[in-house]
């Protein structure tokens, strides 16, 4: 459903600061895949998402979504098919709008309805979705999102990103700014929503244990390349130590991530 063919992106080409963020990336995802992505700081993980979402155009290569070549399609057009969640819980929702209004906004975009045309049935649907989060937010639909905790807000953002059933969901360390207990909760909610909606998902995480536990496939990136791609039994058997050893053997250096979690 997603194909990246020899995708490259270099920043500041031809200068002293030249940086190859993506180096001839080949990647194929099947519908319903849940891919987790690990790698050191600056490995190119977020750049991979930026390329897919169209934050920038790639220098060379092609990106196909459902066999449609989207390489030169503008980001706002790709946004109909690609949902994206970032690290910062303060982004992704409108703080001065209520939970219900935020969801309505996201929902109306997909339904191609006017925001004002949303009715009681839509509202009931939002309540149902919120109830499934098990955070009590279904009783706070008129609360301004700005008054929620980071975890609650990230949960609402997750709903906003998935309510429109995008073809592809990109999660860029979306639990990294939360305390460990909340992060686990949001991760569980993520897994539940993805399983229920069968949205093809890519998740960047610094939490290697989660990377191996969640989803059906894991890739490791370094210096703009995919240096490991595992699934099935090989992935089931893989331990955190083996992954770190692999990185060390391949790159002759330790995997470094300022947010890395190894336990």
Instruction: Please give the residue ranges that form the binding site for Mg ion (CB under 5 A).
Output: 45-46
Residue whose CB is less far from Mg ion, 45 or 185: 45
Burial class (CB in 10 A: 0-12, 13-18, 19+), 256: exposed
Hey, which residues does 231 pair with through a beta bridge? 217
- β-strand partners of 20: 10
Phi, psi of 207 (to 5 degrees): -95, 100
Does 45 interact with ligand ATP (rule: CB under 6 A)? yes
Phi/psi for 142 (5° steps) reads -95, 5
154: phi then psi, degrees, rounded to nearest 5 = -65, -35
Shortest spacing between CB 248 and ligand ATP, in angstroms: 18
Structure tokens at 171: 């999660």
Angle at which helices 180-197 and 150-162 cross, to 10°: 10
Among 36, 47, 93, 152, contact with ligand ATP (rule: CB under 6 A):
47
- CB of 49: closest distance to ligand ATP in angstroms? 8
Footprint of ligand ATP on residues 5-34 (CB under 6 A)?
Answer: 11, 19, 21
- Residue 46 as a binder of ligand ATP (CB under 6 A): the answer is yes
Does 69 contact ligand ATP by CB under 6 A?
Answer: no
Strand pairing of 60-65 and 2-11? antiparallel
- Residue 42 in the binding site for ligand ATP (CB under 6 A): yes
78 binds, among Mg ion, ligand ATP, none (CB under 5 to 8 A by kind): none
Angle at 103 (CA atoms; ends 31, 143), nearest 5 degrees:
145
Residue 105 beta carbon to Mg ion: minimum distance, rounded to whole angstroms:
26
Nearest approach, Cβ of residue 8 and ligand ATP (Å): 12
Residue 41: name its binding partner from ligand ATP, Mg ion, none (Cβ under 5 to 8 Å by kind): ligand ATP
Query: Which partner from the list ligand ATP, Mg ion, none does 61 bind, CB cut-off 5 to 8 Å by kind?
Result: none
Residue reference for tokens 């700081």: 41
Q: Compute the least distance from the CB of residue 49 to Mg ion, in Å.
A: 8
- The span of 44-52, 127-135, 147-155, 243-251 binding ligand ATP (CB under 6 A) equals 44-52
β-strands 34-39, 200-204 pairing: parallel
CA dist., res. 221 & res. 198, Å (int): 25
Positions in 192-211 near ligand ATP (CB under 6 A)? none
Residues contributing to the site for ligand ATP (CB under 6 A) = 11, 19, 21, 39, 41-47, 257
């Amino acid at each position: 459903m997603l194909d990246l063919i020899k995708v490259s992106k270099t920043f500041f080409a031809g200068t002293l600061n030249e940086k190859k963020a993506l180096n001839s990336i080949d990647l194929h995802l099947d519908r319903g895949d849940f891919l987790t992505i690990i790698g050191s700081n600056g490995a190119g993980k977020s750049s991979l998402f930026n390329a897919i979402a169209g934050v920038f155009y790639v220098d060379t290569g092609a990106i196909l979504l459902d066999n449609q070549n989207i390489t030169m399609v503008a980001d706002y057009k790709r946004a109909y098919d690609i949902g994206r969640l970032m690290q910062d819980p303060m982004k992704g929702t409108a703080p001065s709008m209520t939970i219900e209004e935020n969801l309505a906004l996201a929902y109306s975009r997909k339904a191609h309805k006017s925001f004002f045309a949303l009715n009681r049935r839509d509202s009931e649907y939002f309540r149902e979705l919120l109830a499934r989060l098990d955070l009590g937010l279904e009783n706070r639909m008129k609360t301004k999102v700005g008054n929620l905790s980071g975890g609650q807000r990230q949960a609402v953002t997750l709903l906003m990103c998935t309510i429109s059933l995008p073809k592809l969901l990109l999660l860029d360390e979306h639990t990294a700014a939360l305390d460990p207990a909340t992060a686990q909760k949001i991760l569980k909610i993520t897994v539940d929503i993805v399983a229920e909606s069968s949205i093809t998902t890519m998740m960047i995480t610094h939490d290697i244990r989660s990377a191996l536990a969640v989803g059906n496939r894991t890739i490791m990136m370094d210096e703009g390349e995919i240096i490991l791609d595992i699934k099935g039994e090989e992935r089931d058997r893989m331990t955190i130590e083996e992954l770190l050893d692999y990185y060390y053997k391949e790159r002759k250096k330790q995997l470094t991530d300022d947010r890395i979690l190894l336990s």
